[in-house]
A and B are shown apart, each in its own frame.
Chain A
Amino acid sequence: MKKKIGVYVCHCGGNISDYVDVERVRKAVENEEGVFLAKTTMFACADSNQKEMVNDIKEQQLDGVVVASCSPKLHLLTFRAVAERAGLNKYNYVHANIREQVSWAHSDNKEGATEKAIKIVEAAIARVRHAESLDPIKVKSTNAVAVIGAGVAGMRAAIELAEAGSDVYLIEREFFVGGRVAQWDNLFISKESGKELVTRLYDEVMKHKHVTLLTGAEVVENKGSIGNFELKVKVTPRHFKLQCNPGELQKAIDVCPVVVPDEFNFNITNRKAIYHNYPSEYPQLPAIDIKNCTRCGECEKVCTAVDFSQKTEYRNIKVGSILLATGFDPYEPKKGEFGYGEIDNVVTLPQFKRIVHYSKDKLMYKGKEIKNIAYIYCVGSRQVDGDNKYCSRYCCTATIHAAIDVKKRFKNVHNFHFNRGIRTYGKQEILYDESSILGDIYLQSFEHDPPVVEKVGNETIVKIKDILTKDKEIEVAADLVVLVTGMTPRKDNAIGNLLKIPKGRDKFFNEIHMKLRPVETVINGVTIAGASQGPKNIMESMNSALSAATKSFSIVASGELALEPVIAEVDEKTCEWCGKCDEACPYSAFSKVEKDGKFIAKVNPAICKGCGMCLPVCPVNALNIIGMTDEDVEDMIDALIPNA
């Protein structure tokens, strides 16, 4: 029990004292049990008052402090720091919110506000009375990071971490690195191609001794927590030996009888079961798509590098932090959405980019030359009825960039942009300007009145009521309709489920705080980067990748972590392991241990978030959050009961 509590009641200029009689509050609490001094202050947060508090705590040897002021969201940390500066453990500080929840909320009722303020300060005093000093929980940390996804974000993060001196496991599910960017040709603004960007990153990754690249690899199990994640990685073989003669390889591809749609080209082309996404792709060794392979053995006859004896391997790795850079999937339009899947010359933006890639002198699709191209924007983004309410950020720019590209490369191309307002923010506006100068036509509609794609005879007609020309009905006979599809979260969320990463309303991975903690997740030790978090362009992905790498590095670099001690605790006397807490815990923080001849629940302090979901489910009431015991809460309730 505290005997020397200091209470400070803040005027907040007049924000509080105009409606709450702060002097009456001070008087009402100064004789409360344990209160040693009670003061009012014009601005509790002001430097002068902070200094006074430090002096009071030191000179009067206060053992508990309450400040009654604004919301704890503003200044809880400020006053905890004051306590620490005065040598008092910060958990002996309790904050009372008498501005947002009293003076402002009840500015219509000064008497009521004052009475409520008194109760709230009394409740804070009741709580601080049995506050205990707490020390951060110390956990040793392994200086290694698992980076999941070897796209541009993952590779950039891996390089940064390796340069800083951490061991990096770069884990890629596909057999080739580069992710979505490998599927893109020249990029705004440098004119570098996606492939070139990927190659540069790959070369740097491979230079580092500290990076272990695992392709065809997936994390299938996690047994640890921050500082010490124990991951089991399943590595699927490529069925190729390291040395491979390029001539033999081409023969092997030629003789392979299996032909499947090439997902790398969004199924607009076919590939064999032995494949490379493109020549010179990294790693340069091809892979055999074992799901489709018929094991006919033809390839083995012509290529000595083929090796069907390779087996799936499991590797156990230990890391201090996990960085997720798992990317996105392009939106897949529904059958019939703007004619998709029904009208044969309706394609998506990613498909269009591959069509452009494979066109030589003429822009060709399905054997026909393309002249009139209709781009329909915001397909699968900014949905009125669907779930994807968000803007995918990259697509306006990507489309206009592609449109300029085809117009410059091929003769007689006419671009028609059916948009809902162009969002080429920042430098990307240059592209919009350029496309306008080149004569691209922009037609616009609102979300409730989208363009219509129809097959009329042999022609594909796109119709719009164009709001830029006062709702004039305009039709374009298009040789190709490009649906500008946005970004969606990965359909396969196995890694998110495994690590219990929360998702936002957009179903992408969710950060703790969009602005203040943008790359951390509520799962301690797991950071997120790139488009796994939401639509981003390459530049934005790099920013977040470097940020996440820094954050992950700060977790693993020090060798020891200090974690928040406000977590669940088990009363070992009353606990008789029943497993209910384990069921309720969203993070698997509980384990069953034997102690003094019985089984009890044990909290892993490195995993527990202090959410308290376990508290009410315990049938014998053996669980509490430290600093929020039944006594704490019930004493506060008693203090709050308005004068009966």
Chain B
Amino acid sequence: MAKGKVNNSPKILVFSTEKISDPAIDMAGLLKLHYPPTVYTIPVPCSSTIKPRWILHALERGFDGVFIAADGTDCPYGETCTDKTGEIVRVTMEEMKKRGMDPARLKMAAICSVCSEPFVNHVKSFVEYLSKSSK
């Protein structure tokens, strides 16, 4: 594939979780489920660890989208994770609107530790959305 084409694909930063969604993303690789190489991952302990300022930083510095691969109900730190992660998304989206950004540039989905295929499908559709909206 030509170098130019690679760089034209939307850039996505994924926040994965060390115990749940990162293993799923690892397994996507193991299963050779391909997704665009402009998708980068930073693992954090839990999806409710993510500070809105990190998301905003990524979006303002050049990432087209941020995807939170959330723990969902599988979170080893307890069931409050889902609500807390939801709240982070809500607060961040509000801030994005204030700053004139499309809130849909932030996406969240629960990715369980074996949800490799759903992960790939999520990022692919996100890439598609971001490519369309940037044109």
* A contact residues vs B (CB 8 Å cutoff): 71-73, 97, 99-109, 111-113, 115-116, 119-120, 123, 500, 502, 512, 522, 584, 586, 609-613, 615-617, 621, 625, 628, 630, 633-634, 636-638, 640-644
Contacts and interface: CB of A to CB of B under 8 A. Distances in A.
B34 A613 contact: no
A105 B84 contact: no
Contacts of A617: 84
B23 interface: yes
A115 B6 contact: yes
Contacts of A640: 13, 40, 42
B110 interface: no
A637 B30 contact: no
B133 interface: no
B36 A615 contact: no
8 contacts: A100-B27, A101-B26, A104-B29, A109-B1, A112-B6, A611-B77, A613-B46, A613-B48
A123 B78 CA distance: 30
Contact of A630 (B49, B54, B61): B54
Contact of B45 (A101, A502, A612, A616): A612
B44 interface: yes
B76 A522 contact: yes
Given A616-B87, A637-B57, 12 more contacts: A73-B26, A100-B28, A105-B29, A106-B35, A111-B1, A112-B6, A502-B76, A611-B46, A611-B77, A616-B48, A616-B91, A641-B58
B132 interface: no
Q: Place the interface of chain B in its size category.
A: 35 or more
B30 A100 contact: yes
B20 to A, nearest CB: 12
B108 interface: no
B81 interface: yes
Given A101-B29, A630-B53, A641 B11 contact: yes
A100 B25 contact: yes
A593 B26 CA distance: 42
B120 to A, nearest CB: 9
A103 to B, nearest CB: 8
B135 interface: no
B7 A642 contact: yes
Contact of A642 (B11, B34, B49, B87): B11
Contact of B49 (A112, A625, A636): A625
Interface string B3-47: 100110001010000000011011111101111111011111110
Nearest to B77: A611
B62 to A, nearest CB: 4
A615 B49 contact: yes
B42 A106 contact: no
B33 to A, nearest CB: 7
A112 B1 contact: yes
A106 B37 contact: yes
Contacts of B11: 641-642
B103 interface: no
A468 B92 CA distance: 60
A101 B41 contact: yes
B80 A101 contact: no
Interface string B117-128: 000000000000
B49 A613 contact: yes
Contact of B37 (A102, A500, A522): A102
Contact of A637 (B48, B54, B78): B54
Nearest to B10: A642
Nearest to A583: B80
Given A613-B81, A641-B63, A109 B29 contact: no
A71 B30 CA distance: 10
A101 B1 CA distance: 19
B46 to A, nearest CB: 5
A101, A609, A625, A644: most-surrounded residue (chain B CB, <10 A): A101
A277 to B, nearest CB: 37
A631 to B, nearest CB: 11
A616 B57 contact: no
Contacts of B115: none
Interface in B67-86: 76-78, 80-81, 84
Contact of B34 (A107, A123, A633, A641): A107
A61 to B, nearest CB: 30
Given A119-B40, A612-B49, A615-B49, A105 B33 contact: yes
A625 B42 CA distance: 15
Nearest to A108: B34
Contacts of A115: 3, 6, 37
B36 A112 contact: yes
Contacts of B27: 100
Nearest to A623: B51
Nearest to A633: B54
B50 interface: yes
**7 smallest beta-carbon distances between A and B, as pairs:** A612-B49, A112-B37, A104-B29, A100-B26, A105-B29, A100-B29, A611-B77
